[in-house]
Amino acid sequence: VVSEMRFAAKDLTCGRLKIGGYTTTMRQLIQTFLAKHGTPQVPQPPYSPDMAPCDFWLFPHLKKPLKGTRFESQEAIMKKTTADLMAMPKSDFQDCFQKWKRRWNRCVAS
């Protein structure tokens, strides 16, 4: 399927406006292909918050302790981040997924 789409869209992406990582022509091609093969599509809501727990919880919690700190190497950043990650209590992760469920339900309900 992917190879068919690449072949069909081979020359269509040059110089086109990109929206959501795809050119408008490529997006139309994908939608036509999916409709032709009877693949259901889920419409994207007009406002959809980040649904990945890493986006709304983990990354901000890992970035806060790093803010304003200069590191000598990439390894030093990894060591500090790993230590901070290991120091997070299990209950924080469980709470994150409870918040994720509520967030998901609000998104689905809207």
* pLDDT tens, position by position, 29-72: 888 888 898 888 776 655 555 677 787 788 888 899 899 999 99
Whether 45 is in a domain gets the answer no
pLDDT at 79: 94
Are 14 and 61 found together in one domain?
no
Q: How confident is the model at residue 18 (pLDDT cuts 50, 70, 90)?
A: very low
Are 66 and 92 found together in one domain?
yes
Looking at the structure of the chain, the number of domains it has is 2
Which residue do the tokens 């649904």 mark? 51
Dist. CA 90–CA 72, nearest whole Å: 30
Are 24 and 62 found together in one domain?
no
pLDDT at 77: 93
Whether 44 is in a domain gets the answer no
Whether 42 is in a domain gets the answer no
Are 59 and 28 found together in one domain?
no
Q: How confident is the model at residue 100 (pLDDT cuts 50, 70, 90)?
A: confident
Q: Give the DSSP H/E element, type plus range, for residue 24.
A: helix 24-36
Mean of the pLDDT values across residues 78-84?
Answer: 94
Q: What is the mean pLDDT of the chain?
A: 77
pLDDT at 47: 54
Instruction: Give first-to-last CA distance, the chain, whole Å.
Output: 33
Whether 26 is in a domain gets the answer yes
Q: Give me the residues paired with residue 18 across strands.
A: 23
Mean of the pLDDT values across residues 85-109?
Answer: 87
Domain holding 9, by residue range, is 2-36
Are 28 and 65 found together in one domain?
no
